[in-house]
Structure 1
Amino acid sequence: MNGICTLANDYVFDQLVALLNSIDVILGSQTPVCIYPFDDQTQRITNEIAKRPNVFIYDDQESINRWDQFMLAAAPERLNRSKHRLYGAHRRFCAFDAPFDKFIYLDADTVVMNSLASVFEKLDNYDFIVYDFQFKDVSKIYNINSPKLLDIFEQKRIDTEIFCSGFYGAKRGIFNTERRDWLISRLQSGETEILYDGAGEQPLLNYMVMRSNLAIYNFAQELPDSEKTGCSATSKHFEEREHILYDKGNRLTYLHYIGVPPHINQAVCAGENIEFPYRDLFLYYRYIHEPDKRPVFKKPPQRYDAPPPNMLTKALRKLKLINQG
């Protein structure tokens, strides 16, 4: 069986609902979706998916514990809540155990824009399928100052094989017990120093895939320039037609709201008029099944990435001595 996977807790509830609704619209409401729990805060999600028979929360505690232990052995510093906001992000690795034979993983802050059939088809000939341009910035994956990096991976592989962990297709069982143990042994022998330090599971997953010599296919590398599209909400040139985005006439496969933190989505859904890229598209999918609940904004908009006001400005606003806009 094939299916879609994601990772979530109640903190990303609004983003998750938008993703699930986009799956309903684009892929069909019968599409199986497995949610891996980021942590134990999943009550709102549980209530929401009670009305979605195709969606379920992964509950194989043995598998979850196994990957928790893998993370403790492989990169324990990434489980530090005070240092890494994404300390639970590795639980997406449970998809390599179950429940799908082939799966496509999407971060909760994505929306599906097109059929994913071609991704599943590529899994007939490759182990790992991606579609992004992370290869243009190696420094967010590997420690480019580590002298070990080029000893472990040739420059050509570094230039072409790295990927963003927000979207990928893979297969059950590619990281079995033997392979996991071998990867841990390599990391504990000192290879962990080649990983970029400022992210959760993404550098580690890149390492796991590349160190295992899995066959990787990146649509962004392989498609002709006339057909490939971007995927990041940081791209400002996408055109929207009937709630679908196009890049120079080509329909996007998915949109990733990179750089828009979950608390922004929460605030907007609570009625705060905060602008972020492709906000109306997000709101369309978030409230497609309950349009009467879509927020109506009453205050002037503010940008999501605006610098926080300094202490004097905050104090003056509190005293209502300056414009609150």
Structure 2
Amino acid sequence: MDGICTLGNDYVYDQLVALLNSIDAILGKDIPVCIYPFDEKLDLIRAEIANRPNVQIFDDQASIQRWDEFMVEASPASLNREKYRIYGGHRRFCAFDGPFDRFIYLDADTLVMNSLADVFAKLDEYDCVVYDFQHLYPDKVYNVNSEKLFSVFPSELISKQIFCSGFYASKKGLFPPEKIQELVSYLRAGEREILYSTGDQPVVNYMFMRLGTEIYNFAHHLPENMRTGCSVTSKHFVERDNILFDKGNRLTYLHYIGVPPNINQAVCRGENIEFPYRDLFLHYRYLHEPEKRPVFTTPPKPYDAPLPNRWQRAMQKIKVLMKG
């Protein structure tokens, strides 16, 4: 069985609803969806999916624990020491144990923009299929200053195989316990140093590449005049009927990378904060309840406005005191 996977908790509720609604609109309401729990805060999500019979929350605690333990080995810096627990982004890896034989994983802060049939079709030939341009930025996946890096992976592999963990297609069963232990042995032998910082993206790249999985990236194979971007950092996309196009080509998905969930929360509460392709997000967020879409009554402000420095905050406090 094929299905769509994502990762979430109540903090990304608004983004997750927009994603689910885009799946409804573009792929249909019958395609199975599995949400992997970032943590235990899922009350809003449980209520939301009560009327979505195609959507389930993954609850295999043995799988969750297995991947938690692996992440400690792979990226101990990702341990949230304030709460003495693992930062939950890696729990998307539970999809390798999940209900779907073949799956496409999408981050909660994405919108489906097109059929994903071509992506699933490529899984007939490959075990990992992606569509992004992360390979242009290898320093966000691997420690390019590590002397060990290029003894583990040839430079041509680095330039071709790296991908963004926000969208990828793969298959159940690729990482059974013996494969995980093989990876752990490499990490304990010193290969942990080749990973960039913390988080799931370096780790999932390492998982596939270290075990020799060939990764198919549409960005490498489509003709240049047919390739599209996928990130809201691209300002030139054109919207038609709530779908984005890149130089005439329909996007496969849109990733709101760099727009933190608290911005979406504030906008859904009615705060007039601008971010790229905001109206598109709001269209899908309120697709099934347009009457709840916020109406803005204050001037807009940019989502990435710099925070006030210490002097500016002090002046703001003085002004408040003077008014009092």
TM-score (norm 2): 0.96
Q: Is the 8 A contact 2:68 2:86 kept in 1?
A: no
In 2: Cα distance, 1:50 partner to 1:80 partner: 31
CA distance in structure 1 between the partners assigned to 2:228 and 2:273 by the alignment: 27
Q: Which residue does 1:240 correspond to in 2? A: 239
CA contact (8 A) 2:72 2:86 kept: no
Rounded Cα–Cα distance in structure 1 between residues aligned with 2:81 and 2:245: 38
1:206 equivalent in structure 2: 205
Contact 1:86 1:200 in 2 (8 A): no
The letter for the 1-side match of 2:267 is V
Supply the distance in 2 between the matched residues of 1:81 and 1:282 (Cα, whole angstroms): 34
Specify the alignment match of 2:20 in structure 1. 20
How far apart are the structure 1 equivalents of 2:286 and 2:315?
Answer: 37
Mean Cα deviation higher: 86-95 or 289-298: 86-95
Asked if 1:74 is matched to 2:74, the reply is yes
Deviations 1:82-116 (A, max 9, x none): 69x99211100000011100000000000000000
Secondary structure at the residue paired with 2:62? Answer: helix
**1:256 is aligned to 2:255:** yes
Amino acid at match of 1:260: V
Contact 1:81 1:87 in 2 (8 A): no
Aligned partners of 1:15, 1:100: CA distance in 2, in Å?
23
Residue 104 (str. 1) matches residue 80 (str. 2): no
Q: Tell me, what secondary structure is at the counterpart of 1:3?
A: strand
- Where does the alignment leave 5 or more consecutive residues of structure 2 unmatched? none
Asked if 1:7 is matched to 2:3, the reply is no
Query: SS state of the match for residue 213, structure 1?
Result: coil
For residues 287-309 of structure 1, give each alpha carbon's deviation from its aligned partner in whole angstroms, at most 9, with x where no partner exists: 01011111111111110111012
4+ runs of 1 displaced by more than 4 Å?
315-321
Aligned residues: 320
Structure 1 residues 111 and 81: CA distance shift in structure 2, 3 A: farther
Task: Give percent identity, aligned residues only.
Answer: 66
Structure 1 stretches lacking a partner, 5+ long = none
Cα separation, partners in 2 of 1:19 and 1:223, compared to 1, 3 Å: same
Partner Cα separation in structure 2 for residue 111 and residue 319 of structure 1 = 44
1:127 corresponds to: 127
Matched, 1:282 2:266: no
RMSD after superposition? 1.7
Alignment partners' CA distance in 2, 1:290 and 1:4: 23
Task: Measure, in 2, the Cα distance between the counterparts of 1:266 and 1:301.
Answer: 15
Give the structure 2 partner of residue 149 of structure 1.
149
SS at match of 2:105: strand
For residues 163 and 87 of structure 1, the distance between their equivalents in structure 2, rounded to whole angstroms, comes to 21
Deviation at 1:319, TM superposition (A): 6.1
Q: Residue 160 of structure 1 aligns to a residue in which SS?
A: helix
Matched position secondary structure for 2:103: strand
Q: Work out the CA distance in 2 between the residues paired with 1:113 and 1:81.
A: 38
- Deviation, structure 1 residue 62: 1.1
Q: Secondary structure at the match of 2:59?
A: coil
